Amino acid sequence: MDCPKCSGEMELVYYSRIEVDRCKDCGGLWFQPEELRRLRDDVWMADYVIDTGDKSVGKKANAIKDYHCPICGDSMLHENDKHQKHITYESCPNGHGTYLDSGELTDLVKKTFWDKFKRQR
Nearest alpha carbon to residue 82 among 106, 111, 102, 62: 111
Contact of 35 with 18, CB cutoff 8 Å: yes
Instruction: Check residue 35 and give left, alpha or beta (phi > 0: left; psi -120 to 50: alpha).
Output: alpha
Q: Is 39 in the site for Zn ion (CB under 5 A)?
A: no
Helices (H) and strands (E) in the chain, counts: 4, 6
The strand pair at 29-31 and 98-100 is best described as antiparallel
Amino acid, res. 58: G
CB of 31 to Zn ion, least distance (A): 13
Q: Which among 11-19, 21-29, 99-107, 112-120 is the span making contact with Zn ion, rule CB under 5 A?
A: 21-29
- Contact status: 25 vs Zn ion (CB under 5 A): yes
Q: How far is the CB of 18 from Zn ion (least distance, A)?
A: 19
Does residue 8 touch Zn ion according to CB under 5 A? yes
> Quick one: which of 6, 36, 46, 105 contacts Zn ion (CB under 5 A)?
6
Residue 26 C-beta: closest distance to Zn ion, Å: 3
Among residue numbers 51 through 110, which ones bind Zn ion (CB under 5 A)? 69, 71-72, 92, 94, 96
The CB-of-25 to Zn ion minimum distance in angstroms stands at 5
Q: Which residues are registered as beta bridge partners of 80?
A: 88
Cα–Cα distance between 120 and 103 in angstroms, integer?
26
What residue ranges bind Zn ion (CB under 5 A)?
3, 5-6, 8, 23, 25-26, 28, 69, 71-72, 92, 94, 96
